[in-house]
A and B are shown apart, each in its own frame.
Chain A
């Protein structure tokens, strides 16, 4: 269980104000909002990479950001929005880095650690790439490798735009995998997305973010409403109901 109670943070000219949400184990909460609305900033604060103004993030009741980096890495994984490979490590070498927090500085990973990394790769259908340099993967495959690296840290993950740069098929595939894993492994996940429809299908909860504030948080059916989306995105939208899901469509401003 991950609980955020009144998170505030300031970059100087940009502030995040009084963010509150709660994610149970096995649930996905999606932060949805326009570019620059503060989604990444919120995730970084939750993980303690940026320092929130006061105690406000609790994982199983523990004040999360005050833990050491090592203790935090044992409790939660993080998939960054972008990644720049320094050297062409193999896929397996990258995933095993997720176990850093369980090794002392004088230790190297052993057989058992590589086995665990391989299991995660298998879970994501990436096993056959294990010896490939990870600089030679497609965007979607790289994303899967980084997700495997975060998942091995268990049992909570924060994923910043897991579907960025992916084609439609891979967006669906990755979100499907995240959905399945959070259910099966009882992982609490916070992710950020750009597409309200994908959020509607895959999230248990959605938090709408605008200018560093959460405008609404709740189950997708309640959150995806015309007025509030229009306010958050500043574009007119229409909502349709389909098989129990809400579908968000832009309103065309020019008539053809």
Chain B
């Protein structure tokens, strides 16, 4: 009973936080107005404009809602889900409770690829971000593999090295970059949803929603894959499955990083909170991580844009929240396997 209630709360939390956060900002909007305006817009769209409702709200309401807040909130939710799911998948794939796409260097690789495309190459930002996230993943894994074995600690150490490597390369790009571009890149890298617009929503939504659907459909096999090499005797081609899951994770991470910069720790924390509340079965872990990731990100972003008169980059905020949590995990797992 109690468990069911908590479950329900987790699942509806994205909807609650969605409406909550639309109200908040330098120009507060009343909830009733938001609901009316969105309902009217949906009615207009599904009837191809044959029905319109006349609402007596100031026109600025609609502008704020559709031009500023909605794209930003939706982007934050997509990125939150992407990062949380990526963390859950990586933790299962590597049987390592201490990793996410940030810690093992996927995000840093993606950021380097994106910066390269923004500053120097006439290539798509997302494509280069994806390519370099895969390169980073490959390098981390190769480095972590010592006499055929990847342990919890070697993977994290390799992640540190690859993070440092790609951060240095990205710094080099910034150093060489034209000044007009530099400010934007610096701000983007720290992680922010401030530049979100409908174009960004679309470009993040396609890979992230596709990735979430694929992972959700394949979620139970993460239980099996988390058994490591032993999964072979259960009938799974471990190497092939790892590549599939990691590619999906890289795709989602690259989309998030290419548009919203490096936002660390979310992928590490969210799956753990879900595990504590509902256990480690990926059948429930994946959908709940999606829900919790989007809720957390949208609330964190609300905090980032309303706590001070200026915006705090979201990446800084999540890091400050993530470090105590990581410390707790490190102690709980004793830096080794999982002993609940």
Name A's B-contacting residues (CB within 8 A).
Answer: 47, 49, 69-70, 72-74, 77-78, 80, 83-90, 93, 97-98, 100-101, 103, 105-109, 133, 135-136, 149-150, 153
Knowing that A80-B230, A133-B279 touch, tell me 10 more A-B residue pairs with CB under 8 angstroms: A47-B233, A73-B235, A85-B337, A89-B223, A90-B279, A93-B223, A97-B227, A105-B217, A106-B217, A135-B340
Q: Which of B230, B241, B338 contacts A87 (CB 8 A)?
A: B338
| Chain A contact residues, majority secondary structure | mixed
Once A70-B235, A108-B283, A136-B340 are accepted as A-B contacts, the answer to whether A86 and B218 lie under 8 Å apart by CB is no
Q: Which residues of B contact A47 (CB under 8 A)?
A: 233
Please give me the residue from chain B that is nearest to A88 by CB atom.
Answer: B340
Alpha-carbon gap, A74 to B279, bound state (A): 28
B92 sits at the interface (CB 8 A)? yes
B178 sits at the interface (CB 8 A)? no
B236 sits at the interface (CB 8 A)? yes
| Distance from A252 Cβ to chain B, minimum over Cβ atoms (Å) | 41
Tell me which residues from 218 to 266 in chain B have a Cβ below 8 Å from any Cβ of chain A.
Answer: 218-221, 223-224, 226-228, 230-237, 241
Asked if residues B95 and A69 are in contact (CB atoms below 8 Å), the reply is no
Asked if residues A83 and B235 are in contact (CB atoms below 8 Å), the reply is no
The 7 closest A-B pairs by CB, nearest first: A73-B235, A101-B235, A87-B280, A108-B220, A88-B340, A86-B95, A78-B233
9 interchain pairs (CB within 8 A)? A70-B235, A80-B233, A86-B95, A87-B92, A89-B280, A89-B281, A101-B234, A106-B217, A150-B233
| Distance from B274 Cβ to chain A, minimum over Cβ atoms (Å) | 12
B147 sits at the interface (CB 8 A)? no
Q: Mark B197-232, 1 if CB is under 8 A from A, else 0.
A: 000000000000000000001111101101110111
Asked if residues A69 and B283 are in contact (CB atoms below 8 Å), the reply is no
- Chain B contact residues (Cβ within 8 angstroms of A): what range? 20 to 34
Q: Which residues of B contact A150 (CB under 8 A)?
A: 233
Q: Which of B220, B224, B338 contacts A85 (CB 8 A)?
A: B338
Asked if residues A88 and B224 are in contact (CB atoms below 8 Å), the reply is no
Asked if residues B218 and A87 are in contact (CB atoms below 8 Å), the reply is no
Most buried by B among A77, A108, A109: A108
Alpha-carbon gap, A69 to B235, bound state (A): 5
Q: Which residues of A contact B219 (CB under 8 A)?
A: 108
Q: Which residues of B contact A135 (CB under 8 A)?
A: 338-340
Asked if residues B218 and A49 are in contact (CB atoms below 8 Å), the reply is no
Q: Which residues of B contact A107 (CB under 8 A)?
A: 220
| Distance from A112 Cβ to chain B, minimum over Cβ atoms (Å) | 15
Q: Which residues of A contact B339 (CB under 8 A)?
A: 135
Q: Which residues of A contact B223 (CB under 8 A)?
A: 89, 93, 97
Alpha-carbon gap, A146 to B81, bound state (A): 34
Please give me the residue from chain A that is nearest to B241 by CB atom.
Answer: A105
Q: Which of B226, B232, B234, B338 contacts A49 (CB 8 A)?
A: B232
Most buried by A among B233, B234, B281: B233
Asked if residues A105 and B235 are in contact (CB atoms below 8 Å), the reply is no
| Distance from A165 Cβ to chain B, minimum over Cβ atoms (Å) | 17
| Distance from A145 Cβ to chain B, minimum over Cβ atoms (Å) | 13
Asked if residues A86 and B228 are in contact (CB atoms below 8 Å), the reply is yes
Q: Which residues of A contact B218 (CB under 8 A)?
A: 105-106
Please give me the residue from chain B that is nearest to A74 by CB atom.
Answer: B235
Once A69-B236, A70-B235, A74-B235 are accepted as A-B contacts, the answer to whether A86 and B224 lie under 8 Å apart by CB is no
B174 sits at the interface (CB 8 A)? no
Q: Which of A49, A87, A103, A105 contacts B233 (CB 8 A)?
A: A49
Q: Which residues of B contact A70 (CB under 8 A)?
A: 235-236
B41 sits at the interface (CB 8 A)? no
Once A69-B237, A73-B234, A83-B230 are accepted as A-B contacts, the answer to whether A105 and B221 lie under 8 Å apart by CB is yes
Q: Which residues of A contact B236 (CB under 8 A)?
A: 69-70, 100
Asked if residues B338 and A86 are in contact (CB atoms below 8 Å), the reply is yes
| Distance from B334 Cβ to chain A, minimum over Cβ atoms (Å) | 13
Q: Mark B279-290, 1 if CB is under 8 A from A, else 0.
A: 111010000000
| Distance from A207 Cβ to chain B, minimum over Cβ atoms (Å) | 21
Most buried by A among B220, B226, B232, B283: B220
Alpha-carbon gap, A70 to B218, bound state (A): 16
Please give me the residue from chain A that is nearest to B230 by CB atom.
Answer: A80
Alpha-carbon gap, A80 to B230, bound state (A): 8
Q: Which of A83, A90, A97, A105 contacts B234 (CB 8 A)?
A: A97
| Distance from B231 Cβ to chain A, minimum over Cβ atoms (Å) | 8
